[in-house]
C-alpha cells in the first residue's frame, strides 16, 4: 500500500508540467512590449488572501434590481422582448419621465434576511448587487444624486440592508456599478467638443464621488464589478479607469476589480496593448463560456462568467415565455464548466418590484442548492485539473490535488473514459456521495474505463479519482510507429 499523502504530493508536484502539456504555448518572451502608463500593473494571478477567497467562492448570484422591475418590459401597452433593464432605451423614454417610476418604488415584500437565506441555501458564496444600473437609479441614498431609494416611498437604504443581511450569512457582497448613467446630464458617449470634455470631466468627478461613497459607507464590500464602460468617452480616458482601480484599492484593502472597467493608454480594453490582463480578473464571458478544448488559455488568468436564466433578461421581465429558460441541470452544467476551466460563475436573478422573487427563480435557487449541497466539494475552491476533456462531462481539481469527474452525460457503455498524461496512473475511483468504489480498467497505456455507479444516481454526479504519478515521470511505453 502506498501512502496517500505521498501520492497527493507527487500529483501536486506534477501539476505545473501537466498544465503546460494541456495549454497552448506561452507568448514568446522576446516580443517587444510597448511602454504603457495605464496598462496592466501586474502579470499573472493575484495570490493574496482576498483574491484566493474570491476565486475559491466559485459560485455567485447576481441581483439586477432597479426601477425597470416596475414596468417589467412593458411600456405604454407594448411588451418589448429585449432585456427589461434596457426598456428605457427600447421605448425611448426620456430620463425625467422614466424617473417618475420612483414614486411607485415601494417593495413592501422585501426581506433582506429571506433573500440572504435563499442565496445561502442556493450555495452562493457571494452576491453581486446592481448598486446603480444604466438608468441611474441608486439602491443606496447617494448624496450626489436625486435619483435614489431615499427619494421613493420606500425611503430605506436597500443596499445597506442587503449588505448587512448577506454578510450575516457569511456571503460576500460585490457591487455592480454602471459608469454609463442615462440620468446624468454630463454623461457623454463621445467627446466631440471642448464643452463635451468639460461636461465629461464633471461626470467623472461625480462618478468618483459615488464610488468613494460606496467604498466608505459599505466597507465590507469585496469587489467592484464595472459595466457600461464601452463608450468612446471612457476608452479615450483610460487614465481614469486606472485611477478608479487605484482609488478603490486604497480605500478598501483587498478589494477586487473586474477587467471590464479598464482601458489603457490606447483605449484597448480588458487586455492592454501588450496583451496583459488589466484589473484582477477577466469579465468578458457573459452569457457564454470558453470552449473547454480550444480556449484553455483562460486557465492562465482569473476570470468570472455571468449568465441569465432566460436568453437575455437581467432585470425583471413579466413575460419569460418570449425566450428559452434554462433548466437547473443546464445551469449546473455551466457552473461546473466554468470551474473546470479555472473560472467563477454568477447566476442572475431579477427580483420583482414588490421585493419578492418570481417562482421560477425561487425554484432555480433551490434546485442549484440541493445539487451543491451534495456535490459542492467538486466546485468550491476547485480549479482546472489539467486532464484532457472527455464527453461525459468536466474534471475539476481540489486544493489537495484530488481530481473530480463531474458526470453530465451517462454513457450506454456503462464506463467513463479517463485519459492521463504519461507517467500518471489511476489508482482508485469512488462515488463522492456514497464512497462506492468503482471498477477501473486500464484499456491501453494511460487510458482507463471507469465503471458508472451500480445504481444510476439519476442526476449529474461526482466521482473522485485517486491518481499516482511515477517518479521522474518516465514511461518507456512504446507508442505506435506510424
User: What is the binding site for ligand H76 (CB under 6 A)?
Assistant: 64, 83, 85-86, 227, 286, 314
If residue 242 lies in a helix (H) or strand (E), which one and from where to where? helix 238-251
Closest separation between CB of residue 423 and ligand H76, Å? 44
Q: How far is the CB of 312 from ligand H76 (least distance, A)?
A: 8
Nearer to ligand H76, 15 or 322 (CB): 322
Q: Which is nearer to ligand H76, 111 or 319 (CB)?
A: 319
Rounded to a whole number of angstroms, the minimum distance from the CB of residue 234 to ligand H76 is 14
DSSP 260: G
* DSSP code for 136: -
Nearer to ligand H76, 174 or 383 (CB): 174
For residues 479 and 422, give the distance between their C-alpha atoms in angstroms, rounded to a whole number.
Answer: 11
- Closer residue to ligand H76 in complex, CB, 64/125: 64
Q: How far is the CB of 225 from ligand H76 (least distance, A)?
A: 8
**Cβ atoms of 246 and 42 closer than 8 Å:** no
Residue 474: count of CB within 10 angstroms of its CB: 8
Per DSSP, the residues of 366-415 read HHHHHHHHHHGGGTTT-B---S---TTEEEEE-TTS-EEEEE-S--TTSE
Q: Which residue is nearest to ligand H76 (CB)?
A: 314
Nearer to ligand H76 among residue 300 and residue 312 (C-beta): 312
Q: How far is the CB of 254 from ligand H76 (least distance, A)?
A: 24
Least distance between ligand H76 and beta carbon 129 (Å) = 12
Phi and psi of 79, rounded to 5°?
Answer: -95, 125
For the bound state, the minimum distance from the C-beta of residue 218 to ligand H76, rounded and expressed in Å, comes to: 20
DSSP reduced 3-state for 115: helix
Q: How far is the CB of 180 from ligand H76 (least distance, A)?
A: 9
Nearer to ligand H76, 364 or 463 (CB): 364
Helix (H) or strand (E) holding 10: helix 4-22
Q: How far is the CB of 205 from ligand H76 (least distance, A)?
A: 24
Residue-wise burial string across 36-70, b where 16 or more C-beta atoms lie within 10 A, e elsewhere = bebbbeeeeebeeebbebbbebbbbbbbbbbbbbb
CB-nearer residue toward ligand H76: 12 or 79: 79
Residue number with CB closer to ligand H76 (86 or 392): 86
Q: Nearest approach, Cβ of 296 to ligand H76 (angstroms)? A: 25
Task: Beginning with the edge strand found earlier in the chain, give each strand of the sheet holding 223-227 in spatial order.
Answer: 256-257, 223-227, 172-178, 126-132, 59-63, 343-349, 303-307
CA atoms within 13 A on the CB side of 106: 3
Q: Give least dist CB 231 to ligand H76, A.
A: 12
Nearer Cβ to ligand H76, position 23 or 89? 89
The answer for residues whose C-beta is within 8 angstroms of residue 438's C-beta and 6 or more apart is 429, 430, 431, 450, 451, 452, 453, 463
> Would you list the DSSP string of 407-433?
E-S--TTSEEEEE--TTEEEEEEEETT
Min separation Cβ 74 and ligand H76, Å:
17
| Beta carbon nearer to ligand H76, 312 or 410 | 312
Q: Given the complex with ligand H76, which of 64 and 262 has the nearer CB atom? A: 64
Q: Do 380 and 57 touch, CB atoms closer than 8 A?
A: yes
- DSSP class per residue in 290-341: --TTTTGGGGGS-EEEEE-SSSS--S--S-GGGS----HHHHHHHHHHHHHT
Query: With respect to ligand H76, which residue has the nearer C-beta, 28 or 92?
Result: 92
Smallest gap from Cβ 310 to ligand H76, in A, equals 13
| Nearer of residues 226 and 395 to ligand H76, judged by Cβ | 226
The Cα 16–Cα 149 span in angstroms is 50
CB 304 within 8 A of CB 65: no
Q: Return the bridge partners of 173, or none.
A: 127
Amino acid at each position: 500500500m502506498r501512502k496517500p499523502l505521498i501520492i497527493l504530493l507527487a500529483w501536486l508536484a506534477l501539476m505545473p508540467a501537466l498544465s503546460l502539456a494541456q495549454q497552448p504555448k506561452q507568448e514568446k518572451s522576446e516580443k517587444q512590449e510597448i511602454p504603457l502608463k495605464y496598462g496592466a500593473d501586474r502579470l499573472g494571478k493575484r495570490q493574496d488572501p482576498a483574491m484566493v477567497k474570491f476565486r475559491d467562492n466559485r459560485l455567485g448570484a447576481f441581483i439586477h434590481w432597479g426601477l425597470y422591475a416596475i414596468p417589467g418590459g412593458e411600456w405604454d401597452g407594448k411588451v418589448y422582448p429585449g432585456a427589461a433593464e434596457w426598456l428605457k432605451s427600447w421605448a425611448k423614454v426620456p430620463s425625467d419621465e422614466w424617473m417618475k417610476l420612483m414614486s411607485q418604488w415601494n417593495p413592501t415584500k422585501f426581506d433582506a434576511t429571506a433573500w440572504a437565506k435563499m442565496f445561502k441555501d442556493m450555495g452562493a458564496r457571494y452576491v453581486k448587487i446592481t448598486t446603480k444600473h444604466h438608468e441611474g437609479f441608486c439602491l443606496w441614498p447617494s448624496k450626489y444624486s436625486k435619483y435614489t431609494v431615499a427619494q421613493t416611498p420606500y425611503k430605506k437604504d436597500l443596499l445597506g440592508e442587503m449588505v448587512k443581511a448577506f454578510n450575516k450569512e457569511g456571503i460576500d457582497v460585490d457591487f455592480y456599478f454602471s459608469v454609463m448613467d442615462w440620468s446624468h446630464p454630463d454623461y457623454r458617449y463621445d467627446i466631440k467638443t471642448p464643452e463635451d470634455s468639460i461636461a465629461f470631466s464633471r461626470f467623472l468627478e461625480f462618478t468618483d464621488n459615488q464610488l468613494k461613497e460606496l467604498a466608505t459607507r459599505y466597507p465590507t464590500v469585496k469587489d467592484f464589478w464595472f459595466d457600461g464602460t464601452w463608450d468612446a468617452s471612457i476608452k479615450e480616458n483610460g487614465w481614469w479607469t486606472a485611477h478608479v482601480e487605484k482609488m478603490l484599492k486604497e480605500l478598501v484593502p483587498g478589494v477586487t476589480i473586474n477587467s471590464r472597467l479598464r482601458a489603457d493608454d490606447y483605449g484597448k480594453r480588458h487586455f492592454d496593448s501588450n496583451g496583459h490582463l488589466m484589473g484582477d480578473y477577466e469579465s468578458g464571458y457573459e452569457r457564454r463560456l470558453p470552449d473547454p478544448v480550444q480556449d484553455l488559455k483562460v486557465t492562465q488568468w482569473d476570470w468570472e462568467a455571468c449568465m441569465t436564466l432566460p436568453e437575455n433578461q437581467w432585470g425583471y421581465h413579466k413575460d419569460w415565455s418570449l425566450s428559452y429558460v434554462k433548466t437547473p441541470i443546464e445551469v449546473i452544467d455551466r457552473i461546473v464548466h466554468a470551474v473546470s476551466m479555472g473560472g467563477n460563475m454568477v447566476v442572475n436573478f431579477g427580483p420583482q418590484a414588490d421585493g419578492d422573487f418570481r417562482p421560477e427563480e425561487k425554484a432555480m435557487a433551490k434546485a442549484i442548492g440541493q445539487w451543491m449541497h451534495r456535490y459542492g466539494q467538486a466546485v468550491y475552491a476547485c480549479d482546472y485539473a489539467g486532464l484532457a476533456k472527455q464527453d461525459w462531462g468536466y474534471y475539476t481539481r481540489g486544493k489537495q490535488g484530488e481530481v473530480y469527474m463531474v458526470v453530465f452525460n451517462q454513457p450506454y457503455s456503462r464506463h467513463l473514459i479517463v485519459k492521463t498524461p504519461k507517467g500518471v496512473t489511476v489508482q482508485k475511483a469512488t462515488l463522492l456521495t456514497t464512497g462506492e468504489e468503482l471498477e477501473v480498467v486500464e484499456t491501453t497505456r494511460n487510458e482507463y474505463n471507469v465503471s458508472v455507479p451500480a445504481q444510476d444516481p439519476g442526476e449529474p454526479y461526482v466521482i473522485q479519482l485517486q491518481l499516482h504519478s511515477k517518479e521522474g515521470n518516465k514511461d518507456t511505453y512504446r507508442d505506435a510507429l506510424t
